Amino acid sequence: MDIEKVGVVGCGLMGSGIADVCARAGLDVIVCETDSGALDAGRQKIEKSLARAVKSSKLSSDEAEAVASRIHYTTKLDAMADRALVVEAIFENEEAKVALFRDLDAIVSDADAILASNTSSIPIMKLGVATQRPAQVCGLHFFNPVPVLDLVELVTSLVTSDETSERAARFAGDVLGKHVVHSKDRAGFIVNALLIPYILSAIRMVESGFATKEDIDAGMVKGCAHPMGPLALADLIGLDTTMAVAESMYEEFKEQLYASPPLLCRMVEAGLLGRKAGRGFYDYRK
């Protein structure tokens, strides 16, 4: 196995899922968070995910225990020093991600190690140039929930080496068993370049009073066979994340279809972020 030691920085919704699937693939995983509270919350997410896998007979109890034993938790970024691959999965903020990649570059000792980002929109080149190894920086964009959804977008910048691309593709495809699609380095990549304008259009429909959120979602579920409507999907993604991705794409392309509607901005300001906050377009507190 080319990559056996994996680090995941960030143990929120995405980071916990990435750590989960890596440990299920038999890898040694270290998860890093900023403080013990965030780390404990991430640990609980992973434990709940493994419990669901046991309940649905996807894992036996012994297998789930073995998976859990392969995940180690820390609040010290220095623990990433011996990792062959580190996946950044912190919140969607360019400045924070750039600073983290600069720190990881100084910490990770393996000269061949890959530094990957789970960013859903930020160009990989902006992260790569923060390091002294831009040829070994790429995007590995997983989708939520990570243990369930098969897709990974592999994003390479203009200077990502062919070797890095091939190793990352083998890791996501052969080791983790994901379906890998390859994207060039532009804000939004493949999926969000198509998805975000669709979600923003639905928000504008609600904002204008053109249709109710229920009818918009029902139209796409019943009429287009989507598993959920765009507004329910925005709640699942997180309205703050949706807005962050839209802003990154608008900054790059300056096209109106990527501009966040005022309603989305007000909801984020109010803390109505979707499922993770208990309220978004729908109420999840019941």
CA dihedral 190, 195, 196, 202 (to 10 degrees): 170
Query: Is 72 among the residues known to form the active site?
Result: no
Cα-only R_g, the chain: 19
Q: Which of 16, 117, 118, 120 is catalytic?
A: 120
Query: Is 4 among the residues known to form the active site?
Result: no
CB of 86 closer than 8 Å to CB of 116: yes
Q: Which of 121, 141, 157, 260 is catalytic?
A: 141
Query: Is 248 among the residues known to form the active site?
Result: no
Query: Is 153 among the residues known to form the active site?
Result: yes
> ω into residue 123 within 30 of 0, thus cis?
no
Q: Which of 192, 247, 248, 260 is catalytic?
A: 192
Question: What is the distance between the alpha carbons of residues 199 and 213, in angstroms, rounded to a whole number?
Answer: 12
Q: Please state, as a whole number, how many other Cβ atoms lie within 10 Å of the Cβ of residue 161.
A: 16
Residue whose C-alpha is closest to residue 145's, from 46, 75, 245: 46
Q: Which of 88, 92, 153, 247 is catalytic?
A: 153
DSSP annotation of 199 reads H
Token digits of residue 64: 């789930």
List Cβ neighbours of 53 (8 Å cut-off, separation of 6 or more): 59, 64, 147
Question: What is the distance between the alpha carbons of residues 204 and 226, in angstroms, rounded to a whole number?
Answer: 19
Residues annotated as part of the active site: 120, 141, 153, 192
